[in-house]
Structure 1
Amino acid sequence: MTSAQPLIPLIVDPAPSTTALLEQAARRWPDRVAVDFLGATTTYARLADQVAAAAQVLRDLGVGPGDRVALVLPNCPQHVVAFYAITSLGATVAEHNPLAAPAEVQAQLQLHGARVVVAWEHAVAAVLPEEGQDRTVLAVNLAAAMPLRTRLLLRLPVRAARAQRAKLRAPVPDGVGSWDDRVAAAQGPRSAPHRPYETTPDDVAVLLPTGGTTGTPKLVPLTQANLMANVAQGRQWVPGLREGEETFGAVLPFFHAFGMTLSLTFAVSMGATQVVLPNFDVDMVLAAMRRRPWTFLAGVPPMLDRLAASATAEDPQLLRPLRYAISGAMALQPEIADRWETATGGLVIEGYGMTECSPIALGNPFGPERRPGTLGIPFPGTEIRVVDPDLVEEDPDAPDVPDGEVGELLVRGPQVFGGYLDAPEETAQVLLPGGWLRTGDLVRRDPADGFVALADRRKELIVSGGFNIYPSQVEEAVRGMPGVVDVAVVGLPDTSLGEHVVAALVLEPGASVDLPSVREWLQDKVSRYAVPRDLHVLDDLPRSQLGKVLRRHVRERILALRERSGG
């Protein structure tokens, strides 16, 4: 193996568990605001009490060590409470996208078998048990966590209030209890204080859905040791953050590894105030910053660019408190980094990772040595290799490629997972002997300073707006549409999203299929962000000698067609 830079040692001791993070924060900063949700605030002491009450609710439902509890929630205070309550019992949080297609959520529920589900009212219908299934569903009212004035305004008998209520709330079927009511009822005097389960480093804290490097839906178990290692690595990476003084913008979804780590665990470890928003909206973010200025933000490049543009036009001083920002999920273009740093006067760096890495494995340093447009260097305690992907397929000990040449990135460190849930064959495809994780990404390591730059994606997933989209899943859904003979799904460059989804179709003779009909067909079959934004009808699809559709050639053909037609 070759190495362009020495291993950076991890010198920040990881906390023992998520429970320890919250206990420490509540002890050191009891009166500090832990969560600000659209102006409604919760202190760390109050948050700890709510977590204890929620843990009692779950315990009464039979939840104990090793059990799995599913969360199907947007960002909200109830999500924070449920996350810490579940892990305090030694149970596992199974995260789900509340906007995912019902079939996708049901498939994930079947994989992990959670008997208790805490779901946003709008997602309840997607998680109801089928006949014979042992599953308790509790509904979350998003409005219950909002300020009193907002709740009163939502009750007004006017069109705007009705429209806003419809976005936040939905009817709940009979037999589905209220999570909010049960937690509130459990906050009275208790016969005995809540004693958290003493977790071990190997206890599984969370299960996160992913397609991994193959695109097949899988669940990633992350242990307490994985999560706490990534928190400690982050604290060492941003030494300028001040304990008990920072304000984090929590706009990335908590059900995603990036948002989960940067908000649910890293922020709590710092005793930071989290300004939680249910979704990313530029006007909502700017209003929140006027109310409570942020000092730290994790986001994706389109998010940062839109914020910088809007704030510069509206109030050039609005973003100045933001000293640090971490960008991930897609490449951070140097011009976006420049615009952000001009608007804030602070620093933005790009980080690299994947769900299997809890999620961060590499990052640019916070300082003048940062290099926008690169993935950076390995996080503390993290090793990397750059190998020939074909050679390592046959020999895991194959030598690294020379620095400066393109190869597949391998990662090893305390934040790297130990294998997919109940999927030994898929695990064997990505975990090599010695704990090396195959990322599926092709990179080039600079021989001068060891900085790593992304060269290409060996895996064919599409990254749109920070979400991973697996072409095979979309193709399978489209293939069942009347009139469609074959389909290939690819990603094309998009300056605002990173990539957008394009479907190439081969149709039956005489069939007529257009983009609106495809989008309508897919509306309950795939997530919204995976629905194609463009459509091309081709006579055939390029294939390999074995008959496999060559998506790269499909993509090149579509780009050529666009160039000839002027876009």
Structure 2
Amino acid sequence: MVEFDIARTRKTLFGALLDARDKFGRNKEALEDLERQPITFGRLVLGSLVLGRKLAGLTREREYVGVLLPNVQAIAVTLFGLNAFGRVPAFLNFTAGLKNLKAACDLAGMRTIITSRRFVEQGKLDDVVEALGEGRRILWLEDVRGDLTSFDKLRGLFDSWFARRVHARARLQPDDPAVLLFTSGSEGVPKGVVLSNANLVANAYQVKALAGDVLRDDDVFFDPLPIFHSFGLTAGLLTAVLNGMKSVLYPSPLHYRQIPKLVAGTRATIMLATDTFLQGYARAAGENDLASVRYVIAGAERVKDETRKLWAKHGTVILEGYGATECSPVIAVSLPDRNRPGSVGPLLPGIEWRLEPVEGIHEGGRLHVRGPNVMKGYLDPSVPGQVNPPVEGWHDTGDIVTVDDGIVTIRGRAKRFAKIAGEMVSLAAIEATVQGLWPDNSHVVVAIPDSRKGEQIVLITDRAEADREVLLAHAQNQGFPELWVPRSILVSGIPVLGSGKTDYAAAVEMARRLQPML
């Protein structure tokens, strides 16, 4: 059992950054991005105080401030700067579409959005930002920086010498909101998840406590996952920086050819990604591009055997983890000596758990967790500003899991079971079966209404020659009944969210729309 001192987590994000600066040194590199101009812990604190004070003059205390930025150093400086002066960054998913972005802004009662002209121009988001600006103020980082005077910079330098005293004036407490994230909406309408300072600090420290023998002070994390996604925020940025390591931020996980080159250039040793992206990087990489990467921390979707083989050629071990936005997000992560393919490793220290039985499911149960990393609560859509906390601190993950010898294995989401002719069928298990037959392709299995059997299973695959009879023979050879075999096959690209997860809502809609043709 790994010991974990929860009392150590009782601090703010900016306070934890100051602790890291003081422990590991002002001159140690903390951040780098595609511009290849690293900044030290000392410069990160200084930049956060200068920018934060300027932004504080344009916003209100405890205000949810929209942040629409890619993974570059500026997003980290903005995060810590807002926190230093008691504001709450609300990270907006710029891949979510205007409708969802508007809904997020309305839910949070946002009055201000921070973004960048360069980013908006390159991302072709002009129309989106113009629409979001109706009734809200758009703060352009270029303008904010342009307004900085010599006095502002001198004051920032003075503030950095007395940073704890400056931060104390914000009267920010560990249990106060630190960030607002919006769930990806892979299976429904996004919710506003409020994570406290203590939640995020705890999760960064929990990962280090569990993986203390794996992570080294000189490790370099490579984080191509967007900060608006909790995996990119905590696992990729905060776990590194708050524990004295360096994080390299990259603005898009979709740049399969560019990312391996930058991994080589930065000598990254730890990489964060999802299975979908990992396959792309491994296939596009040159012979030595990924040689420096000791471990990949994979999450958000199940890691395929083919992906492990691709990375093994580069000498890299994939450690699969598991989490939820509501848990800051990491709940469990594999370790090199407890790395069972198909499992997600042991639960982090400090987390209590229980399994609740689910009717029709005979193996495992629905996982509920409680601990210092479990969210402050959801924003109440009907009461502005109100946060509804989880009952008695317990969060229902909605995942069906088994726990064997302390190792967690995900059997599927409660919502990812179909009821066919009265029998519960795991869609995740069917996906695994299909993947075993056609490992070089991507697949997603969904359930749609069926007038005779309640629901029917549809396979969406990018394999052009996918054949149901071949799949049926394979499934029966694996011991699965014909009931488990998708009734229909739809050949199409797999819809994916900006976070790298499969977009199940879009996949279901695709199957429903084409149902008459199937």
TM-score range, shorter chain: 0.7 to 0.9
Answering whether residue 371 of structure 2 is matched by residue 413 of structure 1, we say yes
**CA distance in 2: counterparts of 1:25 and 1:265, whole angstroms:** 11
1:360 to 330, 334, 344: 330
1:351 to 321, 328, 331: 321
Residue in 1 aligned with 2:45?
48
**CA distance in 2: counterparts of 1:333 and 1:130, whole angstroms:** 39
Number of matched pairs: 431
| CA shift for structure 1 position 361 | 0.9
Residue in 2 aligned with 1:68?
64
| CA shift for structure 1 position 260 | 0.3
Name which of structure 1's ranges 347-356 and 114-123 shifts more when overlaid on structure 2.
114-123
Q: Residues 534, 309 of structure 1: CA spacing in aligned structure 2 closer, same or farther, 3 A cutoff? A: farther
Residue in 1 aligned with 2:154?
189
| CA shift for structure 1 position 225 | 1.2
Cα displacement string for residues 86-138 of structure 1 (whole angstroms, at most 9, x for unaligned residues):
111122110111232122111111111122210243245424477983x3211
Answering whether residue 310 of structure 2 is matched by residue 339 of structure 1, we say yes
Q: Identify unmatched segments of 5+ residues in structure 1.
A: 1-6, 142-177, 392-400, 473-487, 496-514, 520-526, 542-557, 562-567
Matches within 5 A, 1:372-451: 372-389=341-358, 405-423=363-381, 433-446=391-404, 449-451=405-407
**CA distance in 2: counterparts of 1:293 and 1:424, whole angstroms:** 48
Residue in 1 aligned with 2:477?
none
Residue in 2 aligned with 1:83?
79
Residue in 1 aligned with 2:460?
492
> 1:106·1:126 contact (CA, 8 Å) conserved in 2?
no
User: Which residue identity is paired with 2:71?
Assistant: N
> 1:53·1:184 contact (CA, 8 Å) conserved in 2?
no
| CA shift for structure 1 position 267 | 1.3
Residue in 2 aligned with 1:139?
140
**CA distance in 2: counterparts of 1:24 and 1:131, whole angstroms:** 37
> 2:188·2:505 contact (CA, 8 Å) conserved in 1?
no
User: Which residue identity is paired with 2:413?
Assistant: R
Residue in 1 aligned with 2:468?
none
Matches within 5 A, 1:11-30: 11=5, 13-14=8-9, 16-27=11-22, 28-30=24-26
Using the size of structure 1 for normalisation, the TM-score is 0.67
**CA distance in 2: counterparts of 1:120 and 1:528, whole angstroms:** 28
User: Which residue identity is paired with 1:42?
Assistant: I
Overall identity of the aligned pairs, in %: 28
1:126 to 95, 105, 128: 128
**CA distance in 2: counterparts of 1:117 and 1:24, whole angstroms:** 29
Cα displacement string for residues 482-540 of structure 1 (whole angstroms, at most 9, x for unaligned residues):
xxxxxx99873669xxxxxxxxxxxxxxxxxxx99xx9xxxxxxx99976699568797
| CA shift for structure 1 position 181 | 2.3
| CA shift for structure 1 position 433 | 4.4
Q: Residues 25, 531 of structure 1: CA spacing in aligned structure 2 closer, same or farther, 3 A cutoff? A: same
> 2:27·2:41 contact (CA, 8 Å) conserved in 1?
yes
Q: Residues 105, 131 of structure 1: CA spacing in aligned structure 2 closer, same or farther, 3 A cutoff? A: closer
Q: Residues 376, 458 of structure 1: CA spacing in aligned structure 2 closer, same or farther, 3 A cutoff? A: same
Residue in 2 aligned with 1:215?
188
2:102 to 99, 106, 124: 106
Residue in 1 aligned with 2:4?
10
> 2:187·2:503 contact (CA, 8 Å) conserved in 1?
no
User: Which residue identity is paired with 2:173?
Assistant: T
> 1:90·1:203 contact (CA, 8 Å) conserved in 2?
no
| CA shift for structure 1 position 367 | 2.3
| CA shift for structure 1 position 33 | 2.5
Matches within 5 A, 1:408-557: 408-423=366-381, 433-446=391-404, 449-460=405-416, 492=460
| CA shift for structure 1 position 58 | 1.1
Q: Indicate the SS of the match to 1:350.
A: strand
Q: Indicate the SS of the match to 2:95.
A: coil
Residue in 1 aligned with 2:242?
269
Residue in 2 aligned with 1:251?
224
Q: Indicate the SS of the match to 2:80.
A: helix
**CA distance in 2: counterparts of 1:245 and 1:126, whole angstroms:** 40
Residue in 2 aligned with 1:549?
none
Q: Residues 292, 132 of structure 1: CA spacing in aligned structure 2 closer, same or farther, 3 A cutoff? A: closer
> 2:187·2:504 contact (CA, 8 Å) conserved in 1?
no
> 2:2·2:209 contact (CA, 8 Å) conserved in 1?
no
Residue in 1 aligned with 2:259?
285
| CA shift for structure 1 position 60 | 1.5
Give the CA RMSD over aligned residues: 3.9
Q: Indicate the SS of the match to 2:237.
A: helix
Residue in 2 aligned with 1:152?
none
Q: Identify unmatched segments of 5+ residues in structure 2.
A: 418-426, 432-443, 448-455, 464-490, 496-501
**CA distance in 2: counterparts of 1:33 and 1:253, whole angstroms:** 21
| CA shift for structure 1 position 202 | 1.0
**CA distance in 2: counterparts of 1:452 and 1:234, whole angstroms:** 16
| CA shift for structure 1 position 184 | 7.4
Residue in 2 aligned with 1:480?
none
Q: Residues 535, 348 of structure 1: CA spacing in aligned structure 2 closer, same or farther, 3 A cutoff? A: closer
**CA distance in 2: counterparts of 1:226 and 1:111, whole angstroms:** 21
**CA distance in 2: counterparts of 1:321 and 1:132, whole angstroms:** 47
Residue in 1 aligned with 2:434?
none
